[in-house]
Structure 1
Amino acid sequence: MHLQQIDRWPNTLRDETATLRQEIAAHLQRHTGNRTNIVTPFRGVMMAELHEPTPPMSYIYEPSLSLIIQGEKRVSFGDTLYTYNESRFFLTAVNLPTVAEVPYASAEAPFMSLLLQLNLPLAREVIADMEQHGNRINRQNTGMSLGAADCALLHAVLRYLANQDSPHNSSYVSDLIQREILYRILTSEAGSVFRETVLTGTSSQRVSIAINWLRENYEQPLKVEALAQLAGMGVSTLHHHFRRMTTMSPLQFQKQLRLHEARRLLIAEPVDASSAAIRVGYESVTQFHREYKRMFGATPMRDKEQLLAGIGNLAIAIR
């Protein structure tokens, strides 16, 4: 498995970034209530506070910026493991199935994170403005990447939250700050793939069309030729760019979507493994059991038992 490791800030920057994170944490905890909680206080923003570790949980990241305010998180996608903390942001450019885990959290040292959904139409405007003024956007290859959560980005996020929490909240000001946040992302080492994905006509944007179709129709039989036609690409071209962005083929991607959805069904609904397999599109329950165990390390029902036992208070928070 490939590893994307966390970085730590140099001593000269720790004090300023720590102060900014403390101010962001104050906004966050006003909404979480200083307890294990996952909330969406306003549109496009999700806040999480956890007082205990979480087991590896299936999660589909939409185009978003994820910031850890305190703690550490592990996100696995395909054969790549991203481990990051408050010094790095986690950028997702397309809808991708992952397994996410919070290895350390307690009431004394809670895990706190902030996820901002990215406004793609606004991002196109920012990219156009940047190109007009000759700004450079760095190169990156995959649909997920890490970037430095530096003071400039944290300042922008803090101002965005302060505006949202203000009784005189201005949507005009929010849009301006969102533009700055997008600018900070695009000029980071993680910005290139995001740019390619949101611009119409690029190979990444065409692959994102295929990815979105698969996410919405994962239970349907997959015909790669039809998927390539939908994306406006040849089959071999689709395979090449799809693997570049997701590290897997369209068929492997569909299988991951099916298994993640089956896992969600097993936890959230009173269904058995066979019913979950059929609902997500498997024709062979035996094959489903085999692939589920290979991916999650346990049979479906055993995995369900372990997850429900390990989630604890988090299950209450999610509901």
Structure 2
Amino acid sequence: MQEILKEMIGLCSAATTEPTKTELPRVLIIQGEVPKHQLAAIYEPMVGLVLQGSKTVSIGTQVIHLKPGSYFVIPTEMPATGFVKQGPNGLPYISMGIQLDRTILTDLLKDIPSNSNYSNIGTSDFSVCKVTTSFLEVCLRMLRLLKTPEHIPALAPAYEREILYHVLIGPDGWRLRQLFQTRDKESSIHQAIQWVRNHFIDSFEINQLADRACMGITTFHRQFKAITGLSPIQFQKQLRLLEARKLLTFSGYSVTDAALDVGYESTSQFNREYSRFFGNSPGKDSKILKEMVL
């Protein structure tokens, strides 16, 4: 397995500290000391595989530590924070990301019986998922296509399906099955998650979201947290804080204007929650970030 990782690392030489798009559809690579402010973000649905160095990801109250040969699953758009570390002897952090394609996942799920051994629902905690050799081998075959781009149209789709199949039958695959293995799209909790994502500025009642997902309040709350690691209110709060951080750092908003713009009615409450989440007051945090991006 170490030899596979070594070859994959060599194929990621074009990566930068920003998620770097490749010629491979939905495959990203990243390398180096990623600034912390980039790792406090709204993560897109993806699988992140660590090749070198280590990464710590915080989702809600859960913290997962990833080493080479392990991956994590972000099943839907959600707020998270994290940081990365170099590998031994100062070798840079390197990872590979696969953005999740809902159409492919839905199609694959047709071939995984709902009563199979892989259909069991895990705990609400996010897992550090260890790759199997067969999983790593198909990831390597995918990256090797960067050396023969003329083969990408014919082979990449098959490799992508195989990678996602391994994810679906892996430790955290149940999150994806719970989101997408439903015949009635309107009954999916995915709809409620997307609604909060798109309307996080607005106030809402939990029963409104539960109705949207066609669930009782208790069941809805439990399943929402199982998928996102957060309660609906925590999910909304972190979305607001991340958006406010962008407004303060990149759009020149005052603290009061940023708080009001993302839905806070109290600036003092905004200051408290911002400081608790990011570790610094809004003014100090935005000043640090502005200096980092200059």
User: How high is the TM-score relative to the length of structure 1?
Assistant: 0.81
Q: Is the 8 A contact 1:87 1:149 kept in 2?
A: yes
Instruction: Tell me the equivalent position of 1:268.
Output: 250
From 25, 28, 41, give the equivalent of 2:22: 41
Q: CA deviation at 1:104?
A: 3.7
Name the Cα RMSD after superposition.
2.8
From 261, 274, 284, give the equivalent of 1:302: 284
SS of the residue corresponding to residue 40 of structure 2 reads: strand
Cα distance per residue 1:10-39 (max 9 Å; x no partner): xxxxxxx2211222122211x23xx64541
Question: Is 1:252 the counterpart of 2:238 in the alignment?
Answer: no
**Alpha-carbon distance in 2 for matches of 1:38, 1:62:** 12
**Alpha-carbon distance in 1 for matches of 2:78, 2:18:** 24
Task: Pick which of 138-147 and 191-200 moved more.
Answer: 138-147
Residues 288 and 63 of structure 1: is their aligned pair in 2 closer, same or farther, counting only changes over 3 Å? same
Question: Is 1:25 the counterpart of 2:21 in the alignment?
Answer: no
Q: Is the 8 A contact 1:92 1:143 kept in 2?
A: no
**Alpha-carbon distance in 2 for matches of 1:133, 1:251:** 33
Instruction: Tell me the equivalent position of 2:42.
Output: 60
Task: Pick which of 94-103 and 129-138 moved more.
Answer: 129-138
Q: CA deviation at 1:143?
A: 7.6
Cα distance per residue 1:158-190 (max 9 Å; x no partner): 112223552313434222111111121122222
Gaps of 5+ in 2: none
Aligned residues between the structures:
292
Q: CA deviation at 1:131?
A: 2.1
Query: What amino acid sits opposite 1:22 in the alignment?
Result: K
Q: Is the 8 A contact 1:24 1:158 kept in 2?
A: yes
Query: What amino acid sits opposite 1:210 in the alignment?
Result: A
Q: Is the 8 A contact 2:54 2:68 kept in 1?
A: yes
Query: What amino acid sits opposite 1:20 in the alignment?
Result: I
Instruction: Tell me the equivalent position of 2:148.
Output: 166
Query: What amino acid sits opposite 1:62 in the alignment?
Result: E
Query: What amino acid sits opposite 2:10 in the alignment?
Result: A
Task: Pick which of 152-161 and 228-237 moved more.
Answer: 228-237
From 68, 72, 94, give the equivalent of 2:54: 72
**Alpha-carbon distance in 2 for matches of 1:53, 1:168:** 31
Q: CA deviation at 1:234?
A: 2.7
Gaps of 5+ in 1: 1-16
Q: Is the 8 A contact 1:207 1:242 kept in 2?
A: yes
Cα distance per residue 1:55-113 (max 9 Å; x no partner): 36412222211011111111111111111111311111122210111144799411111
From 123, 129, 136, give the equivalent of 1:147: 129
Residues 95 and 53 of structure 1: is their aligned pair in 2 closer, same or farther, counting only changes over 3 Å? closer
Identity across matched positions, percent: 30
Query: What amino acid sits opposite 2:143 in the alignment?
Result: L
**Alpha-carbon distance in 2 for matches of 1:114, 1:260:** 24
**Alpha-carbon distance in 2 for matches of 1:18, 1:268:** 41
Q: CA deviation at 1:247?
A: 3.8
**Alpha-carbon distance in 1 for matches of 2:220, 2:97:** 30
Q: Is the 8 A contact 1:209 1:231 kept in 2?
A: yes
